[in-house]
Chains A and B, each alone.
Chain A
Amino acid sequence: MDTCLQPSISRRSLLASTAALFATNTTAARARTVTQMLPWEPGMATPPVPVRPGPWMFFMADEAALVEAAVDRLIPPDDRGPGGKDAGCAVFIDRQLAGPYGRGDGLYMKPPFMRGAATQGYQMPDSPAARYRTGLRALADYVKVKFPGSSFPELPADDQDKVLAGLESGSIALKNVSGAQFFALLLQNTQEGFFSDPVYGGNRDMVGWKLVGFPGTRYDYRDWVERHNEPYPLPPVSIMGRSDWTVRE
């Protein structure tokens, strides 16, 4: 029979105004055997699922408080704009840890786990979620000992900064956890939260992008490539749009 390059969902209709498009029984959107037809179905898309505001999905209440305080020191609020907390970095991290990233999906997790040279990469079996559980607890324990009667969120900002700096440099030792490695992970995730698309829960209102002047998901700069040394005037836009997309009444 004729080769056809359209899946039969675009099978022609018939009774004029009344005709229906008949979809075939092609199964999954992803064809396993592809021959003579380019797999395609209407509405096929895998956009990110927007993070919705709501209760913490991974953090316990005290963990969330700690992380919120920490991200607000890693990226403090100032006259340039909101800090990590208001930007939603803790929400971002929470949702990431509750999902495939937190679980460590896709990593090679077969034993034996052995320590090797630094050049051989991360060799521990802990997923990011596990590392946060142990890291946050170890940090909370440290604070309890070093600052009796206070938790990390209750410390004055200067002390919080000192703790973070100590973790970063390795001068503060946490029990059974590398403070420096945990700090690096927390910093990395915080900055991801500050600069990733707002659909993931952070970079609220695109504040991170506005800080540096990144236009977001814009996809056409043809008219601007050769406009050297000129500031780009359009506001940033994200995967779910921007306020100008809303029809004003």
Chain B
Amino acid sequence: MRCSLAIASFIVALTGTASAQETQSFERIERGRYLAVLGDCGACHTAPGGQPFAGGLALQTPFGTLVTPNITPDRETGIGSWTNDEFLAALHEGRGHNGKRLYPAMPYPAYTKMSDDDVLAIRAYLVTVAPVRNQVISNQLPFPFNIRLAMALWNLLNFTPGRYQPNLQKSAEWNRGAYIVEAAAHCGTCHTPKTMLGADKTDSPLAGAPLQGWFAPNITPDPNKGIGGWSKDEIAQYLKTGTNKWTLASGPMAEAVTHSTSRVTDEDISAVVTYLKDSGAGGLTPKPGPVAANDNAMRAGAAIYKDSCAPCHKDTGTGEAHLFPRLAGSALVQSDDPTTLVRVVLQGTRAASTPSMPTAPAMPAFNWRLGDAQVAAVLTYIRNSWGNAAPPVAASAIAGQHMSLATAP
């Protein structure tokens, strides 16, 4: 009895106190707006140049194309005619209108952990956005993936609906952080490695995952592979401003920072940080020995680094805070999967801009200047210098990545 009361009070503490009856109170709508920021709904449901939440963004999945639906309150082409229960079913169970099954491109396996109250607050907010007439044919997958019923089997294998269960051993702040990370902000959707069927590998949450052309890094507390070497303030600064003394957010994370994490309250950031530093995920991966400095690739890499990279990242690999990422001691540089490193060297990348850190510096592209063996050499060099140690990068890996970058739109 006491246990369930405690659970109930946690839930209440986590999700606020508004009752289901006050659907359109200002507080509820505002809470819904904030939760939509936490969940970053607009990132997918707003097409480039399109109206907010009107859908139409095509998502390239390995199974084919899905187009995000219109979630404005338009009655015919949006979700205006949905009941609250239907909205809950969508986020909690992956079920759309008339029981149609959603594909997990919609991260319902994460949203299922959100409380009813929070989901309905989002609904209350969405009811207030401008209705837009925009008919979207979402399912553009080829046969057999276009058979939504197949999702029933996928869900059976990979998905268990259910609200977030607080961990009573941990503080309220930790649980709030866990709720945000695991549910609303669905960090694992990118950062948790996936099975062949595209489901989360539940034994290695937040341990890093490739997303065609990028590697979403390991954000467990592992000090060698993850963010264990970052202080709480550094993690908080990164989420709030897109940069800290180690690095700058770019690529898909730049968008997450710009649209979502930079607009989150300080308390919630603090909760997220508390959770990430203590998520229980990951471990302490032992560091391998570094590749020897007189290795042929290391020698070539050293020359390339000195001539091409040091003018920004410095001979010492220490970069410049908030301008040029620090390579020495960087877990991302030493990650097993070098996809992000390869991509950034080949095509360059641009950092996020936030109000307090507007600079948005960019790394230039080097694909015209360095051949595959040279890219591999310089990456092997940075992964094994200044105390870093990580497996070398092979020239064949670069060749492979050219292919995927060419096909990725």
Interface residue ranges, A against B (CB under 8 Å): 1-2, 4-6, 8, 10-26, 38, 40, 42-45, 47, 217-220, 223, 234, 237, 239-242, 244-249
Bound-complex Cα distance A38 to B377 (A):
32
State whether A45 and B368 are in contact (beta carbons under 8 Å apart), knowing that A18-B61, A218-B307, A247-B374 are contacts in the complex.
Answer: yes
If A42-B347, A244-B300 are given as contacts, then 7 extra A-B residue pairs at C-beta distance below 8 Å, sorted by A number, are A2-B258, A2-B259, A6-B353, A10-B254, A18-B212, A25-B49, A244-B299
20 contacts between A and B (CB under 8 A): A4-B255, A10-B255, A11-B57, A15-B198, A16-B200, A17-B194, A18-B212, A19-B190, A19-B212, A20-B409, A25-B49, A40-B350, A42-B349, A47-B368, A219-B311, A241-B370, A242-B303, A246-B374, A247-B296, A248-B299
B300 and A4 contacting across the interface, CB-CB below 8 Å: no
State whether A43 and B350 are in contact (beta carbons under 8 Å apart), knowing that A12-B255, A19-B211, A241-B374 are contacts in the complex.
Answer: no
List chain B residues, Cβ under 8 A from A219: 311
Bound-complex Cα distance A22 to B65 (A):
11
Cβ distance B335 to chain A, nearest Cβ, rounded Å:
15
A22 and B211 contacting across the interface, CB-CB below 8 Å: no
List chain B residues, Cβ under 8 A from A234: 306
B48 and A18 contacting across the interface, CB-CB below 8 Å: no
Bound-complex Cα distance A17 to B17 (A):
37
Q: Which of B99-113 contact A (CB under 8 A)?
A: 103-105, 107
Contact code string B172-203 (vs A, CB < 8 Å = 1, else 0): 00000000000000000110111000101000
Cβ distance B267 to chain A, nearest Cβ, rounded Å:
21
B300 and A246 contacting across the interface, CB-CB below 8 Å: yes
B48 and A239 contacting across the interface, CB-CB below 8 Å: no
* Chain B minimum-CB-distance residue to A236: B307
Which residue of A8, A16, A223 contacts B211 across the interface (Cβ within 8 Å)? A16
Q: Is B60 an interface residue (CB 8 A)?
A: yes
Which residue of A21, A217, A246, A249 contacts B214 across the interface (Cβ within 8 Å)? A21
A10 and B252 contacting across the interface, CB-CB below 8 Å: yes
Interface locus among B90-98, B223-231, B357-365: B357-365
Q: Which of B36-94 contact A (CB under 8 A)?
A: 40, 42-44, 46, 48-49, 52, 57-63
The 5 closest A-B pairs by CB, nearest first: A20-B60, A5-B353, A244-B303, A42-B347, A219-B311
* Chain B minimum-CB-distance residue to A45: B365
List chain A residues, Cβ under 8 A from B299: 244, 248
A8, A18, A21, A249 — most chain B CB neighbours (10 Å): A18
Bound-complex Cα distance A91 to B36 (A):
62
State whether A15 and B408 are in contact (beta carbons under 8 Å apart), knowing that A242-B307, A247-B300 are contacts in the complex.
Answer: no
Bound-complex Cα distance A1 to B54 (A):
12
Bound-complex Cα distance A249 to B211 (A):
33
Chain A contact residues, majority secondary structure: loop
List chain A residues, Cβ under 8 A from B193: 16-17
Cβ distance A126 to chain B, nearest Cβ, rounded Å:
34
List chain A residues, Cβ under 8 A from B194: 15-18
B255 and A239 contacting across the interface, CB-CB below 8 Å: no
Size of the chain B interface, CB-CB below 8 angstroms:
73
A16 and B189 contacting across the interface, CB-CB below 8 Å: yes
Q: Is B317 an interface residue (CB 8 A)?
A: no
State whether A6 and B254 are in contact (beta carbons under 8 Å apart), knowing that A17-B194, A18-B62 are contacts in the complex.
Answer: yes
State whether A38 and B350 are in contact (beta carbons under 8 Å apart), knowing that A13-B212, A17-B198, A18-B63 are contacts in the complex.
Answer: yes
Q: Is B304 an interface residue (CB 8 A)?
A: yes
Q: Is B256 an interface residue (CB 8 A)?
A: yes
List chain B residues, Cβ under 8 A from A4: 255, 258-259
A241 and B409 contacting across the interface, CB-CB below 8 Å: no
Bound-complex Cα distance A248 to B189 (A):
42
* Chain A minimum-CB-distance residue to B106: A14
List chain A residues, Cβ under 8 A from B213: 20-21
Which residue of B46, B59, B198, B349 contacts A22 across the interface (Cβ within 8 Å)? B59
* Chain B minimum-CB-distance residue to A219: B311
A25 and B48 contacting across the interface, CB-CB below 8 Å: yes
* Chain B minimum-CB-distance residue to A24: B48
Which residue of A15, A38, A47, A246 contacts B61 across the interface (Cβ within 8 Å)? A15
A22 and B350 contacting across the interface, CB-CB below 8 Å: no
List chain B residues, Cβ under 8 A from A247: 296-297, 300, 373-374, 376-377
B346 and A43 contacting across the interface, CB-CB below 8 Å: yes
B250 and A22 contacting across the interface, CB-CB below 8 Å: no
List chain B residues, Cβ under 8 A from A237: 307
B52 and A1 contacting across the interface, CB-CB below 8 Å: yes
Cβ distance B364 to chain A, nearest Cβ, rounded Å:
6
Bound-complex Cα distance A10 to B252 (A):
5
A6 and B352 contacting across the interface, CB-CB below 8 Å: yes
List chain B residues, Cβ under 8 A from A6: 254-255, 258, 350, 352-353
List chain B residues, Cβ under 8 A from A11: 43, 48, 57, 252, 255
Bound-complex Cα distance A241 to B192 (A):
39
* Chain A minimum-CB-distance residue to B303: A244
Q: Is B2 an interface residue (CB 8 A)?
A: no
A15 and B373 contacting across the interface, CB-CB below 8 Å: no
